[in-house]
Chains A and B, each alone.
Chain A
Amino acid sequence: MDSRHVVIGSQDDKFGCTVWDLSGFCLHNFGKDIAKLRVNDLAISPNGQRLVILSESSIIVFDFDSYEKIYEWQVDDVKLMSVTISQDSRHMLVSMSQAHIQLMEIDSGKVIHRFEGHQQKDFILRSAFGGADENFVVSGSEGMLISVLSRPPSPPSRLLFNHMPILTPTKQDSRIYIWRSNGLLIEALDAHAGCVNSVAWHPRDPSTFASAGDDCRVKIWRPLSAPPFPAGSGGSNGCG
């Protein structure tokens, strides 16, 4: 959301996706133009120009200023789970059932890369971009690991060193998977006792990310070479 408006997506048939201002007034209802829009996930690009909605079987891209639909891609045979948009507002990461993650260009729909290798059967996995320059893709898994993949540079940005790691969605094998953007699986970390539900990379510090699990814990991940946290960290401040 930008600081003045909020976009809410839901499984409600009438209010599939709505835009509100901060006083509670509904500015726009995307569900009016698209019958039975049930939103699985949505994302707004950092530049505020694009809204991407994942419904049951299609990826829909809207221009956020005019609320007009730009593209819609039907996807058969797989369920769409979550979407994340890169910092440069040009690419999106779509997580799907059957353990696929796709890196796509937002405006053309071109699939730049596919990532596989993690486990996912029944649950929603979220992926994210991470690391310096968004060089990696990180994902959780249905098997207790966190995966980290690294990401290849896309041709137009060859001279800009604009590489982005990709945070892979948390999977149900309790691992976190991290891929580099060229699709190479870098790490598969044993993370939580139980499903890893969400992973978030620190936006300013590329050597830190956090994970959330069914074991009621939030874990902070740092490099081996990093100094330990000061004593007393992670406690309550006493104000409850």
Chain B
Amino acid sequence: MIPEHRLASLLDEVKEGWIERCQYHNTAASPSLYLDHNCTKDDFPTRNALELKHHTDQVVFVQYSNDGSMLASTSKDTTIIIYETKTYNILHQLEQHEKSDVVHLAWSPDDQRIITCCLQPENAARIWDVKVGFRWK
């Protein structure tokens, strides 16, 4: 007797094998069974498409917002820049960490706020409202 769903599990194994061998596999979609599967390098990000030169000192950390519509970067120049991600134009440049390198940031899950932290001499964490670019706390 053939076990139940045997054909389905065999086909799943074929797909798994393809995905494992596919070096540039970068899609969540299940591969089609009509053709052997192989992702090409052309569809994989390998090219520097855009350079953003707004910071005036080392850029320490970058993080996309949870929905991908914004990108925030922190820098030794004590500022945080928030870009929108269609054209990477600046939405806000936040400058209130006085004289301290901003080293890390995190987006709130609803992307309404970010929290940033900095080194000496300020040694503080600040919460910012992203829509307005205003320091909240």
What chain B residues lie within 8 Å of A189 (beta carbons)?
A: 46
Q: Does B131 contact A (CB under 8 A)?
A: no
Picked from B64, B87, B115, the residue with its CB within 8 Å of the CB of A234 is B87
Given contacts A2-B109, A152-B20, A161-B19, A221 and B49 within 8 Å (CB-CB): yes
Q: Does B51 contact A (CB under 8 A)?
A: yes
Greatest chain A CB density within 10 A among B53, B58, B89 is at B58
Q: Which residue of A lies closest to B9 (CB)?
A: A159
Which residues 121-150 of A have a CB within 8 angstroms of B?
126, 131-133, 135-136, 148, 150
Picked from B26, B45, B58, B66, the residue with its CB within 8 Å of the CB of A221 is B45
What chain A residues lie within 8 Å of B19 (beta carbons)?
A: 153, 161, 163
In the assembly, what is the distance between CA of A228 and CA of B49, in Å? Answer: 7
In the assembly, what is the distance between CA of A235 and CA of B77, in Å? Answer: 18
Q: Which residue of B lies closest to A187 (CB)?
A: B46
Given contacts A152-B20, A216-B57, A206 and B26 within 8 Å (CB-CB): yes
Q: Does A182 contact B (CB under 8 A)?
A: yes
Q: Does B137 contact A (CB under 8 A)?
A: yes
Q: Does A222 contact B (CB under 8 A)?
A: yes
Do the beta carbons of A153 and B16 come within 8 Å of each other? yes
Q: How far is the CB of A123 from chain B (nearest CB, A)?
A: 11
In the assembly, what is the distance between CA of A189 and CA of B137, in Å? Answer: 39
Do the beta carbons of A153 and B20 come within 8 Å of each other? yes
Do the beta carbons of A224 and B52 come within 8 Å of each other? no
Binary flags per residue of A177-214, CB closer than 8 Å to B gives 1, else 0: 00010101011010100100111111111111111111
Q: Does A165 contact B (CB under 8 A)?
A: yes
Do the beta carbons of A131 and B62 come within 8 Å of each other? no
Picked from A187, A207, A230, the residue with its CB within 8 Å of the CB of B43 is A207
What chain A residues lie within 8 Å of B46 (beta carbons)?
A: 187, 189, 221, 223-224
Q: Does B34 contact A (CB under 8 A)?
A: no
Q: Does A35 contact B (CB under 8 A)?
A: no
Q: Does A237 contact B (CB under 8 A)?
A: yes
Q: Which residue of A lies closest to B73 (CB)?
A: A218
Do the beta carbons of A216 and B55 come within 8 Å of each other? yes
Q: How far is the CB of A58 from chain B (nearest CB, A)?
A: 21
Which residues 1-59 of B have a CB within 8 angstroms of A?
9, 12, 15-16, 19-20, 23-30, 41-59
Do the beta carbons of B47 and A221 come within 8 Å of each other? yes
Do the beta carbons of A216 and B64 come within 8 Å of each other? no
Do the beta carbons of B54 and A24 come within 8 Å of each other? no
What chain B residues lie within 8 Å of A148 (beta carbons)?
A: 44
Given contacts A212-B62, A216-B55, A216-B56, A1 and B115 within 8 Å (CB-CB): yes
Which residues 18-53 of A have a CB within 8 angstroms of B?
22, 24
The 17 sampled A-B contact pairs (Cβ below 8 Å) are: A159-B9, A161-B15, A161-B16, A187-B44, A197-B60, A197-B61, A202-B85, A203-B66, A213-B59, A216-B75, A217-B51, A218-B54, A223-B43, A232-B89, A234-B87, A236-B90, A237-B90
List 12 extra interface pairs beyond A1-B115, A135-B25, A218-B55, CB under 8 A: A8-B117, A152-B20, A161-B16, A186-B44, A187-B44, A216-B55, A217-B53, A219-B51, A223-B46, A232-B89, A234-B53, A234-B89
